[in-house]
Structure 1
């Protein structure tokens, strides 16, 4: 299997779900799933707290028995996280429950068991998931109702969009003073920076472990590739915004390729702000 948790984006995966994790203390955390299924085996990834301060991407594996209508999903590997804690502290979701028809895009829910990487139990709870396509349709319907309603001012209509909120949840963004911990499979890593949208003269300083590598660099459409060797416990890559171009804010698409998987994120900064990525050998 190709492994959507490694080389492809959530928009490319055959099966995409959006929902929440409900913990036993009644708190809710956003949860996304993207995976492929082949001969009953599942491979893909999950994203917990998308867009939040503890956003974490994990690889998942499992199975689907179409006769028994049984879905099994297990998180097993941390790809990246914004949480400032060690990988051993992560509680991994292990789910087993009923799914009526995987290929017909049915919702599913049920209880999950949380385990640490060493197999010891942690938090348990419930996951409630809906196919992403159906969530998007409901968001588009809600936007149309808001636009047609006379109860809302034009200012509110211009600033409220359920679909835009969904789009925000679909992309990893590192903002002011945030740090994204990326777990690399190898010590040889290539970082690529570029403008994935309209080139608008965004300029940055790029630091590697505190040393200025790129000064007043203009982000272009073409990728700027930077090879990095993780010799020590970690390597810290810091992006500092020099300006906000012709269209604020300053945005830079960043890709980290360790030869086994491609991790994509984006910085979104105002002038003078900075964000970091910490590369750790897994």
Structure 2
């Protein structure tokens, strides 16, 4: 009987010892490291740098100022809003009653581009433009920006006339005129001062 009791005590002691030695985990698969504090939910753990933020930095930048410098052909890129202190018109003299000849020029192109504007005080000057006696622009108001006119050339002489329809509210009818060939090369740069009814003319020879 004593032997049986001793055997049971040994078996019980062995079982208790075996339970103590059992590892805390029986998982033999790949271990998964604990998520870092910066990782929340199922999204990857990353942070924006201090200089980065969710604001739209583009909106914080000041808008670039428009550049109204002249092009290589001396034409204003935005003449209609070009800021300039216009000088006062010249005094209306009797000599401005006479027609003015602005010269003659040659080109091999099919057309010329003409740009005109009131380069002095903008006071409502208006002109009529004709080519070889045919009106192509019946009433052009001369403002601070260049007014473009495309003139298709006939073979030989092309007489282009600018007739002053009025004198505006100050002095004579004044204008700056620039002419370019089909390749954009400058042919002429002229000015006129006209009383009402007088004309400024130039001749373009198509070769």
Q: TM-score, normalised by structure 1?
A: 0.36
Name which structure has the greater RCO, CA cutoff 8 Å, separation 6+. 2
Higher strand share: 1
**TM-score (norm. length: structure 2):** 0.48
